[in-house]
Structure 1
Amino acid sequence: MVALLALVLAGCGGSSGKGKNRDGDDAAAPAVPGGNAGAPAYTGPTRGAAGDSFYRPADPLPAGKPGDVLSYRTVPAPAQLASLGATVYQVLYLSTDALGKPAAVSGTIVLPGGVDVSKAPVLSYAAGSHGIGDRCAPSKGIADGSDYGLDEIAAAARHGWVVAATDYQGLGTPGEHTYVVGRAEGHAVIDAARAALRLPGAHPAANAKVAYWGYSQGGGAAAWAGELTATYAPELALVGVAAGGVPADLAEVSKVLEGSQQVGLQFMAAVGFDAAYPELRLDSFLTPAGRTAIDALRAGCLDAIAGLAGKGTADIATINPLSTAVWQKRLAENKLGSAPPSVPLFLYHGTKDVTVAYPQGEALMRAYCAKGATVTWQTFDGDHGAGTAVAPAALDFLTARYANLPTPNTC
């Protein structure tokens, strides 16, 4: 756990001041591009405002397509990227929430230096857990050089790839972060790639090869993006998905986290699901002390989970929400493995992982294999925080996919 916290706490802190967004339907709706009937027409991207005003989109959102850039601005490249001659943009783009409704999502697009960007492939990079307060948004840590994912982003830029790194829904932008809600996060990852293809000025070609990569929360988001692309973004030239430490079955993740030092991650997930699905009504289950504890999570970054270490659901709730049919239904809808991507996957997992237990990764691999997927499966001897050691292998896999080279099939 020490390694995990050292990995994920960099750059986090502060409060969000967010309000709850209670619009939505009781049942999941299909994601329909342009599903914002009656809204103002989309007229193209604008130059972004200064400061945190950049993260506040127009209300109502324009009736554009998922991936349309609403606004953009350049930010100084942090040292890891400046040394590569990279250009860094912050973007606000249209995406789709878990209920099929339009949402504005922020993120970062990195154009590598010294290459013809019009011929470059696109890597949509899915960040790991940062917390659920607005100041935890990866784009803010990337801009000031503190984000723990910068080494991987820089490695991708060094390969000559355009990198699109989403903040996910509600992390930086209004509303709460839909933490580990697979359908919302998958859309955000896909639409970050689309935004990179539509960035004003220099951008990759519309038919540029696209891949997804992430670990932990990001591993789940990347895998979800892979599962959703065929129906949500069939125009993308997807060539591969690299996903590690994947929380494929959140009901099983919850069983492992209950009462542990990392139980705050479980409660963050409860907040994320409550933000995505208004019928879940998380606050109605909480005790007064529980509301105080959850509010601290809502306002903080990942370091906020330390205040809940060793707690159980019974310490904050009158009834365990996960025992109810409505919560179980939404968790089941967000379980990976039923619709494997049609492109090769690189899946990796630590055999000593006590945060997202190892059987999760193995079960996902076997589910994909059973459905005919092409999977390169790699284990490593370590806990969750040791996943960064596999980054070179993930980069090798992605390099091979962009080059249309054969990839090993563990299945």
Structure 2
Amino acid sequence: MHVAHTRTRVVGALTAALLLSAATPTAFADEPEPAAPGDVVTQSPTEFHPLPGQWTNTRAWRITYRSTNAKGGPNTVSGTVIVPNDGRTGPRPVVTYAVGTVGLGDSCAPSANFPRGTAVEATLINQVVQKGWAVAVTDYEGLGTPGDHTYTVGRAEGTAVLDAARAAERLGIPGVDADSPVGIMGYSQGGQASSWAAELHDSYAPDLKVKGTATGGVPADLMKVAASNDGGLGSGLVLMAAAGQNAAFPELKLDTYLNPAGKALVDYFRTNCVAVDTTVGSFKHITDVTVQNPLQQPDWQARLAESKLGTHRPDAPVYLYHGTIDELIPYAVGRQLRADWCARGTNVEWHALPLLGHIGGVTAGGVPAANWLADRFANRPFHPNC
């Protein structure tokens, strides 16, 4: 009887172990579905290579996690969490990193490109990781998960960025938990997303210990950015932004405004990435691809106004930078964001980057921005210059 009982216990233990192995990386079947923003839905090991085959001595996980869409409803977003494989078990900071425009197709998502060494901004992300920090990189809503990417929809981007940090804290990484200091970082679309995360932090994710936000090349006013790019080098980005707004708000009915050329372009953008999109879409006027300009309609104007930044005071310090000859996001837009935040009492450290355009801004500004975050994690004095 004793032997039989022991055998039953052993078999039961082995069965449990097999079930545990089979359940990884997804949640157990008998566990409730994750519901809170930032809860991890799935996780699986992946690799992080800034360039093809480049070794980084890191561990990485592709995750999906709960977040919130622009209308306040629940959604699921994908992303990647990267941690130095340095043996450190004590506390380490978490940076939630928002990438610039990659495109609308799922193949463009950072998570899809990190293993291949083809992700945009991966070299800069690696510089952040090599500081010893855990880094969470959201794919944003609709990149790597069902549905279209809600490109340029500020609130959806901001929640995805904040919930990526929450998800990183809930993965069980040694030294990373709810007490970890958090930094927010991004440029261009990532500047919009990180700035929205900064504005949303106090109301949406006050549990995160945010020390500061480093943000640059910010498209803080989409109407002004669209007007500046109409017929220019970035005109394809305007149409991509319209598709992103329509993904979040289908009642805008973008297709009813597009002519056949416009519909063909949007269909093309939905399955391709930014390098080819900007080439194909450049130097077109809105009137070239529409039967009626949606940006002149009150419902479109109202939705775009919802993504305007500078209307709420970030509750942690901000490092804000912008190239003075930015050809895609007008310098005046960045300067106005500084003025709006300063008027609301934000601790802003502003840096104009003389004679630098959009790409030059991220190249020259990214490292100082990361160093500024390092100072925030070390509780060093900062120097607002409103």
- On whether the aligned pair clears a TM of 0.5, the verdict is yes
Tell me by how many angstroms 1:319 deviates.
0.7
Q: 1:46 to 1:321 in 2, by over 3 A?
A: farther
Tell me by how many angstroms 1:297 deviates.
1.0
* 1:347 has 2:320 as partner: yes
> Could you tell me how far apart the structure 1 residues matched to 2:312 and 2:219 are?
16
Structure 1 residue runs of 5 or longer lacking an equivalent are 1-44, 50-57
Q: Which residue of 360, 381, 385 corresponds with 2:359?
A: 385
> Could you tell me how far apart the structure 2 residues matched to 1:378 and 1:99 are?
34
Structure 2 residue runs of 5 or longer lacking an equivalent are 1-21
> Could you tell me how far apart the structure 1 residues matched to 2:230 and 2:47 are?
42
Does the CA contact (< 8 Å) of 1:132 and 1:177 recur in 2? yes
* 1:112 has 2:84 as partner: yes
Does the CA contact (< 8 Å) of 2:34 and 2:41 recur in 1? no
Could you tell which deviates more after superposition, 291-300 or 161-170? 291-300
SS at match of 2:212: strand
Does the CA contact (< 8 Å) of 1:117 and 1:162 recur in 2? no
SS at match of 2:287: helix
Tell me by how many angstroms 1:142 deviates.
1.3
Could you tell which deviates more after superposition, 324-333 or 304-313? 304-313
Identity across the alignment (%): 42
> Could you tell me how far apart the structure 2 residues matched to 1:116 and 1:215 are?
29
Does the CA contact (< 8 Å) of 1:90 and 1:139 recur in 2? yes
Amino acid of the structure 1 residue aligned with 2:348: V
Partner of 1:405: 380
Counterparts of residues 239-318 of structure 1 (less than 5 Å): 239-302=211-274, 303-318=276-291
> Could you tell me how far apart the structure 1 residues matched to 2:34 and 2:351 are?
43
> Could you tell me how far apart the structure 2 residues matched to 1:46 and 1:211 are?
32
Does the CA contact (< 8 Å) of 1:297 and 1:305 recur in 2? no
Deviations 1:219-244 (A, max 9, x none): 11000000001010111111100000
Counterparts of residues 134-213 of structure 1 (less than 5 Å): 134-202=106-174, 204-213=176-185
Does the CA contact (< 8 Å) of 1:196 and 1:203 recur in 2? no
Tell me by how many angstroms 1:379 deviates.
1.4
Q: 1:117 to 1:233 in 2, by over 3 A?
A: farther
SS at match of 1:342: coil
Does the CA contact (< 8 Å) of 2:50 and 2:119 recur in 1? no
SS at match of 1:144: coil
Tell me by how many angstroms 1:156 deviates.
1.2
Tell me by how many angstroms 1:115 deviates.
4.9
Counterparts of residues 84-95 of structure 1 (less than 5 Å): 84-95=56-67
Q: 1:363 to 1:115 in 2, by over 3 A?
A: farther
Amino acid of the structure 2 residue aligned with 1:383: G
The alignment's TM-score, normalised by the length of structure 1, stands at: 0.84
Partner of 2:329: 356
The alignment's TM-score, normalised by the length of structure 2, stands at: 0.89
RMSD: 1.9
Amino acid of the structure 2 residue aligned with 1:340: R
Q: Which residue of 229, 232, 249 corresponds with 2:204?
A: 232
Does the CA contact (< 8 Å) of 1:90 and 1:108 recur in 2? yes
Q: How many residues end up aligned between the 2 structures?
A: 357
